[in-house]
Structure 1
């Protein structure tokens, strides 16, 4: 029979890093709360029968947020054989709050004090043996990042699980509170195992709203609650919380020695600059500009150029040997075996042209992933969430809303799922609706295509796409918060900033590979199937009443051209009303990378070089630079891919809310793209028409929605008048 060990701890305590080290899993590691939204499991290295369960990072077992519900339900319902409680040694007092609750569950607990290397570097001292004695459980020192002490901690947890020795809480509350808890435990009777009575008694006293779902019979404890609240002149939840911190403070005073240092730590010195009220945003903007500049325009651009020109082009020279490119190799093989014309067209013009056009951007994406992984691992992205909280709160959102957006920069699906960390239902729905505005990795090929092929590699295009997404989120927050559905104060945002540290090369490469491999797998499955469909509908059609394979010059007679022509008029006010661009935008709903793959097939090129040499003449005849930017903006903001839409449907848990979210995203994308094209064309060419007037009207309406008073404003004014009148 397998042994189950649960990893439990606060966000940012290094729990997922430890999980990766113990199991060899490629679980993504981030430096903000809420990365692990669901419990995940893996087998302990060297132990086939030991399962490690990675629970969400939580601050307590009081179910205020969805991730706390996941963790508590697992611990109470499935009762693992042992709990490995990871505690951040640099913030031990805050972390011990959860530890006191875990020990009340009656499950064997071993505590691992993490980040001991930083504790020692700061000159602090944690007296492990004394702490173990005070808590009544074994305590070990580890550094999950450096891998020191983790094997010993795991082995001790396995030994503890095999021993099946239940942890008995050693801390006691005040006498009056203990007497009330004893009374509640008696009322629980035989419905609850003896080792769990303490936990449930406390939860009943705290008036826990979720307790009814976890107890067969809920005893009436109103008399006990009234008694203790009258005696201690406070509500029971506050009483329990205060008692815990009194107990924790007594432990810290005896078991933790802080060095007498007056000077600021390195992290404090850095934070004085990067979180400065005036410098924080310019620094963040500069960093993101450099990240996208390096990823798309310089280092990533050079790598993509080489890939497209050589690997997916004519070939390259390797130590004096001429190595042909993939299209050349494939064509030679197909000609040698005598393949039919339609099969050659499918492989060369469909699969290689479509999938190759997407895979050509992989080098740029890998460079971007390396930069993002470094910023996440070193601790800077946690500061960004803190910085954005100050801004988002002014627009009706909290910093918790920015966390899913940070995750969504890799993929929209986990970003949408990370919204579960937001306890306020209104804020959670609004976050789900706006998270995919941030460019994900699938949108990077579109950004690179527009930037390289249509703007000559201009450095401003790629960063502007990122800030267009942020602007859309901020404006959406202002507008939606002023509606009746979303009105109300934003959810509070409490977050501990981890100390800055140099991430390991292993963690950065693991994060890069995980994201990159996910993209490559998608190119080999979803995009492959989509390009086959696009090729068939593009290269087959009716000519002179005959259905047959078309050549490149006859694509206007294809099935896809017929379908695209019926919808292209919708996009004419946006500047790209030809059927090819319309079809590319629609296929992007399957997977955003399909936009580039579809262009690769329809415009007949197997690769997209940064200078746009293969397609510049073709695209320039059908799309101006203003229209191209309008096309980019529309694809950035409109409804995401099918996978992300499925995540929206699942997280909203309502068909009405799903269509509301998708409809809002698409409508906003259309309006912004229309305004970009119409106003941009007016400025650059002086062209003025009916849709220019429509664009100005939309901008006026947009400004009105931004500045109009919200629903809460009227209420507060009315209340103010009534109070003033009373005086």
Structure 2
């Protein structure tokens, strides 16, 4: 009856508090304790295998109570450093050089053949500039998945989920969600793709919704540009603050979502840690091929169409005349219509609105678009105040991820969820930027 149920619940809650484990983990712990006791009394083992002994010694450091998280931070820091600063940066530069060389060859060929200027602009400014900028990320994605697949094959990724499970459970996720969220600091596209490993639809949706709050590398040029221009003495502090603010917003969103949108508990996470082993070359390269193929298919799908749309809006006016000044384009007109929405945030200029629209295509486009439209940093600083710049940084941190990430979300969860996440991110970004700007005005 109800009294007995309440008594049992009270006993279980007391057990969780005393043992420091949730009920699922406690049951698993008791079962394994019983099994180990039974095996100890009835089974004779000649010796511990070398693989098990080696794994146990490594786990004393990599999953230790005080060394687990520091070791994890060091390993993932090394992975991201090698990916984005060493091999990935070199591969991306090489890919960009290749795309640029191919663009120049095609450009000269179209010029030599006297191709119509509109078609010429479509091919070079639309297709090559749009799709080419996305393809340049291919080396980074391949290298990142190479390192992650190595860690997966060695058995370490299982330890990562184990170490982070207790912390993530407090915000309604299981330890399995840590890997996609970490990848989000590199790029949202592979982050969304990595969520496929989550067994629960609830956990998968919640994880995908939170990954855009992690500052991907494409946002770094925006942070660096505005921090150097408006906060030269506090540039490092501003950039670190943006990363932390993104994480905090992700945690707050998770807690609210857990209460209202994704009710219930995360899937119980009980696992037996495998022994460490040498990674398989066949498995590693097969994974790389699948991820690279998936990325390229997407690049020549939705991203190709989006590039043409952006080019068209930047190149024509309402009478479909080719414009020489982007201020007369359809994009400028649309941006001028949207600009009043951003006025309460401290950046109501149509050129800034245009850069935010371009940022939907690729976040790096925000800086390049502003540089072209303002013809230099000095002009921008006459339009934008430091408080407006800070508000703009908060908005760029939180608003909708790029079209490549949205395409990935659409592929994983469907069109309606992709639209919901875009709207949700934009609303959250506007509210946070408005709060920052309003509080800033009170102290000026």
- TM-score higher than 0.5: yes
Distance 1:440 1:343 in 2: 38
Which aligned pairs between 1:200-599 and structure 2 lie closer than 5 A? 258-261=45-48, 265-308=53-96, 310-313=97-100, 325-402=101-178, 405=181, 411=190, 414=193, 418-419=197-198, 421-422=199-200, 429=202, 432-438=205-211, 444=216, 446-447=218-219, 449-450=221-222, 470-481=247-258, 483=259, 490-541=266-317, 547-551=320-324, 554-572=325-343, 577-579=348-350, 582-583=353-354, 585-586=356-357, 594-596=362-364
| SS at 1:494 equivalent | coil
| 8 Å Cα contact 1:538-1:602 kept in structure 2 | no
Greater per-residue helix proportion:
2
* 5+ residue gaps, structure 1: 1-241, 314-324, 423-427, 606-613, 683-687, 694-727
- Residues 401, 522 of structure 1: CA spacing in aligned structure 2 closer, same or farther, 3 A cutoff? closer
Residue range with higher mean Cα deviation, 261-270 or 334-343? 261-270
> If you compute each CA radius of gyration, which structure gives the higher value, 1 or 2?
1
Q: What is aligned with 1:169?
A: none
Question: CA 1:570–1:440 in structure 2 vs 1: closer, same or farther (change >3 Å)?
Answer: closer
Contact 1:392 1:474 in 2 (8 A): no
Q: In 2 relative to 1, CA 495–279 (structure 1 residues): closer, same or farther, beyond 3 Å?
A: same
Q: 1:282, 1:673 → 2: CA distance?
A: 33
Higher relative contact order (CA 8 A, sep 6+): 2
**Does the CA-based 8 Å contact 1:395-1:477 persist in structure 2?**
yes
Structure 2 CA distance for aligned equivalents of residues 414 and 339 of structure 1: 40
Residue 628 of structure 1 and its aligned partner are, at CA, apart by: 6.5
Distance 1:468 1:555, change over 3 A: same
What residue in structure 1 maps to residue 394 of structure 2? 630
Counterpart-to-counterpart distance in 2, 1:444 and 1:401? 17
1:258, 1:615 → 2: CA distance?
74
Q: Distance in 2 between matches of 1:455 and 1:302?
A: 25
Q: Does structure 1 conserve the Cα–Cα contact (< 8 Å) formed by 2:92 and 2:138?
A: yes
Per the TM alignment, residue 556 of structure 1 is displaced from its structure 2 partner at its CA by 0.9
Distance 1:306 1:617 in 2: 32
Q: Is the 8 A contact 2:298 2:407 kept in 1?
A: no
* Equivalent in the alignment of 1:41: none
Counterpart of 2:5 in structure 1 is none
Residue 578 of structure 1: how far off its partner (Å): 4.5
Partner of 1:689: 441
TM-aligned CA deviation for residue 390 of structure 1: 1.1
Higher share in strand? 1
Q: Deviations over 1:330-371 (max 9, x none)?
A: 121011111111112112222222222222333333332222
Q: Is the 8 A contact 2:354 2:369 kept in 1?
A: no
Matched residue SS, 2:210: coil
2:427 paired residue among 667, 678, 690: 667
Alpha carbons 1:437, 1:470 under 8 Å: kept: no
Output the CA distance in 2 between the equivalents of 1:440 and 1:513. 28
C-alpha distance 573-272 of structure 1, shift in aligned 2 (>3 A): farther
Q: CA deviation at 1:383?
A: 1.2
What is the TM-score when the length of structure 1 is the normalising length? 0.45
> How many residues are treated as equivalent by the alignment?
393
